[in-house]
Structure 1
Amino acid sequence: MRHTPPTRSPTPDAKRTCTEIPSDKAGPSTSSWTRHPVHYGKGIHLAPMVRSGTMPTRLLALEAGAELVWTPETVDRAIIGCERRVDPKTGVITYIKSHKPVLTLHPVERPRLIFQLGSANPDLAAEAAKIIYQDVAGIDLNCGCPKHFSVHAGMGAGLLLDPDKLCAILQAIRASIPPEVPVSCKIRMLPSQEDTLSLVRQIADTGTINCLTVHCRTPPMRDREPAMKHRLKDIVQSVGKKVVVVENGDCVGYESAQQILQQTTARAVMIARAAEANPTCFLPDGPKDAETYLIPRYVRLAKYLDHHWSNTKFCLAQFTSPDPHLGKHGRLEWKKAINGAKSYEELRLLWGKEAGFFEGGEEILAGIQHALRARGRSAPELGVLSTPGPALSQQSASSVIDPAPPDPILVREIQAVV
């Protein structure tokens, strides 16, 4: 995972400025919203990913069938002292400090959005949680990132070495926000299974969390090493029904998730790398083609939401397909255009497209909102500790609204360019 250093901020007592912009033409309402049960124990979730897990990726993952999506980790001091702004056209909510965005989100995703917090201090964690909880479905404490940035500051996997502090932070977060806002944490396994079981029992016994995500690798392990999923079943049994356990590690899609749920008895699964490569991987029939479907759609949505070009470009460069429609040569030409573009407009010109080719993001957003509302109506009424069972049900699969296939005219246009 990549990290950027936390922005220096005022003391924990710094006040948050909330800027609401009333307008008859504003996007979806941001002043108030109705909370619904958070379905930690259902389906497949989008993992927290620095740089990759930003707003357009999360929205398209939700459309494809992700039950919940996590924000990239945000350090407590970065969110404390932020100014909250709402775009009157799109509804985008931005937390800003020193004229730089710290976090952006959209009201459409808010009922399914989990904010991941990086902290090594109970007081700072509580202050940050009080600032952000109004705009998210739940708060998650990062206790698993092994990178030096986190560990040297006592955050991330560094908290695994100090379980008492870890639990104190969770207790501080829980005490600082309303009881209807759930709290969770994400850990890695310790080298010793006995030590891991002791840790998760201590966390569960605090009574503060609704969900525990377990990345089935130890802090020194890297992604190329297979996740130790065989160790998770004992962890699930050790916490019993106190906490929903979510598996993270080596899940690549819907079928893979079913196999992992059966093997581990976890209640849900989280996807990271496969979603970074293609956020439509949540679809039961597999991911959509990157060049003919995902990339044009992603650009249109990001441009409408005024998402920063540099992050859009980074995400586009990661996207791929198992069996690309345009072939190897077509993909290379497509990537070349993305790598060379310095703005949305420059990308359009490099692709040789007419003016307005990147319009339509508003309709895409409306379609995502419709899909989520339809899924909400068809989903069973589950509480934060409820679960439909170890396997993904057909009802869950049928509630996913499959995006439309690539436009054949668009495909021909793309092929003509590359």
Structure 2
Amino acid sequence: MTRTASSSPPPDNERATKRPKLEHLTPDSFKNGVFLAPMVRSGALPTRLMALKHGASLVWGPEVVDKAILHAERVVDPVTGVISYNGKTRAIFTTHPIEKPYLIYQIGSASPQLAVQAAKTVVQDVSGVDLNCGCPKPFSTHAGMGAALLTNPDLLCDILTSLRRELPPHITVSAKIRLLPSQEDTKRLVERIVRTGVSALTVHCRTRNMRPREAALIERLREIVEFVEGLGIDIPVVANGDCQGWEDAKRVKQITGASSVMIATAAEANPSCFAPTPLQDVETTMIPSYLRLCKYIDNHWALTKFCISQFRSTRREVTKEQANDLKARIIKAKGFDELTDLVGSWSGEAEFTKIADIIGSRRPRPLLTVRIRNHLRHARPWVPAGVREYPNLQ
């Protein structure tokens, strides 16, 4: 589906809408929360919106390598308002203004200059920038990015210092690291990071060489949290590793003393895990609505297919056989329309509006739902309050 961005003026009644004062993230925004972790592919826009719908406090986008975003073309969908940063053959990063107050953009970088350029490319559409210092995958580490930064603290801190110096003060800068094998080495690294001016630090409680199937070492984090507190620096430390959802986050916080908890694998399986009572039977409760949303916002089918193939939950009414049959159908499907009987109705606009209403009911966007409804009523490009923040809007 191809759409052209429009510059048509807003209706008179929309011009008269009083724009609310924009609020921004602060270090306190990283406290007492449950966050969606950055995940390649699985952290796509539809998953982030579903996570926010079900209670995620903040959401991280998937890691994007600095050079990949530098020459992307920013395009705004005139129907849905989705913002795409397009490369030559695909969208490198997509977002929507309704998630901006809660969105952290994660950069993969081994260069202070490129990191700053990449951050400035997207800064108008996000509320914070996070440096990936923990990805152990070769595509990241071979270029000195991700977990490779853990053993190059001078470069790591130079990147963070440059981001903090060059980005607007209302844009938070944070980092996500892994544990080092030695607790003392980890604390030395953490001390250097928290002195760069970051707003928060996330610690994935596994070392670089540990695999996801190995239990996270969350018991190591409390000493690190107390160490940061002892420095007299008020920096939230976020725990990441093996949290199963909203209820389990209480356990992780109790063990670690962390300010907040970040969820990855459990959210990949069920984006409603941020709710006190997550959805069961995702085959009938989550997948249909997720598909409707994806089709409406023109999410690429291959990415959609990957995400829904990861969904799983406790089953109450759906049998194991039915769940397996559905997975087989999803694997064979070559497009949305092949799953029409599963979805029932492709009322994606209604699905999106429902999500927008829920997100818009939060602070700091008191009039967000009004703007959404006006957009849908008048079928014009969706533009958030404070449109002057978007100088590249065509």
What TM bracket, shorter-length normalisation? 0.7 to 0.9
Structure 1 position 173, deviation (Å):
1.1
Supply the distance in 1 between the matched residues of 2:139 and 2:79 (Cα, whole angstroms).
Answer: 37
Structure 1 position 234, deviation (Å):
1.2
Correspondence for 1:311: 303
The answer to whether residue 181 in structure 2 is matched with residue 191 in structure 1 is yes
Task: Mark the CA change 1:33 to 1:61 in structure 2 (over 3 Å): closer, same or farther.
Answer: farther
Structure 1 position 33, deviation (Å):
8.8
* Equivalent position amino acid for 1:34 in 2: L
The answer to whether residue 313 in structure 2 is matched with residue 328 in structure 1 is no
Correspondence for 1:373: 360
Question: What is the DSSP-based 3-state SS (H/G/I as helix, E as strand, rest coil) of the residue aligned with 1:109?
Answer: helix
Correspondence for 2:370: none
Q: Which has the higher contact order (CA 8 A, sep 6+)?
A: 2
Supply the distance in 2 between the matched residues of 1:114 and 1:298 (Cα, whole angstroms).
Answer: 22
Correspondence for 2:292: 300
Correspondence for 1:398: none
Deviations 1:55-106 (A, max 9, x none): 0000000000000011000000001011100000000000012142110111
Question: What is the DSSP-based 3-state SS (H/G/I as helix, E as strand, rest coil) of the residue aligned with 1:49?
Answer: coil
- Stretches of structure 2 lacking an aligned partner (at least 5 in a row): 367-394
* Count of aligned pairs: 353
Task: Mark the CA change 1:378 to 1:92 in structure 2 (over 3 Å): closer, same or farther.
Answer: closer
Supply the distance in 2 between the matched residues of 1:334 and 1:182 (Cα, whole angstroms).
Answer: 41
* Equivalent position amino acid for 1:317 in 2: S
Asked if the contact 1:120/1:165 (under 8 Å) is kept, the reply is: yes
* Equivalent position amino acid for 1:106 in 2: H
Mapping of residues 327-346 of structure 1, within 5 Å: 327-346=319-338
The answer to whether residue 214 in structure 2 is matched with residue 225 in structure 1 is yes
* Equivalent position amino acid for 2:72 in 1: C
Question: What is the DSSP-based 3-state SS (H/G/I as helix, E as strand, rest coil) of the residue aligned with 1:175?
Answer: helix
Correspondence for 2:92: 102
Asked if the contact 1:129/1:176 (under 8 Å) is kept, the reply is: no
Supply the distance in 2 between the matched residues of 1:33 and 1:141 (Cα, whole angstroms).
Answer: 28
Structure 1 position 124, deviation (Å):
0.4
Supply the distance in 2 between the matched residues of 1:264 and 1:378 (Cα, whole angstroms).
Answer: 32
The answer to whether residue 250 in structure 2 is matched with residue 258 in structure 1 is yes
Supply the distance in 1 between the matched residues of 2:21 and 2:104 (Cα, whole angstroms).
Answer: 15
* Equivalent position amino acid for 2:168 in 1: P
Supply the distance in 2 between the matched residues of 1:59 and 1:25 (Cα, whole angstroms).
Answer: 26
Correspondence for 1:383: none
Correspondence for 2:379: none
The answer to whether residue 224 in structure 2 is matched with residue 235 in structure 1 is yes
Matched-pair identity in %: 50
Deviations 1:279-332 (A, max 9, x none): 011110133321111000000000000100000011111111112521111111
Q: Choose the corresponding residue for 1:282, options 274, 294, 300.
A: 274
The answer to whether residue 337 in structure 2 is matched with residue 348 in structure 1 is no
Correspondence for 1:359: 346
Supply the distance in 1 between the matched residues of 2:297 and 2:10 (Cα, whole angstroms).
Answer: 15
Correspondence for 1:22: 7
* Equivalent position amino acid for 2:41 in 1: R
Asked if the contact 2:174/2:198 (under 8 Å) is kept, the reply is: yes
Supply the distance in 1 between the matched residues of 2:364 and 2:69 (Cα, whole angstroms).
Answer: 33
Q: Choose the corresponding residue for 1:36, options 12, 18, 24.
A: 24
Structure 1 position 189, deviation (Å):
0.3
Task: Mark the CA change 1:288 to 1:108 in structure 2 (over 3 Å): closer, same or farther.
Answer: farther
Supply the distance in 2 between the matched residues of 1:165 and 1:361 (Cα, whole angstroms).
Answer: 45
Supply the distance in 1 between the matched residues of 2:275 and 2:192 (Cα, whole angstroms).
Answer: 36
Task: Mark the CA change 1:143 to 1:160 in structure 2 (over 3 Å): closer, same or farther.
Answer: same
Structure 1 position 21, deviation (Å):
3.1
Structure 1 position 377, deviation (Å):
6.6
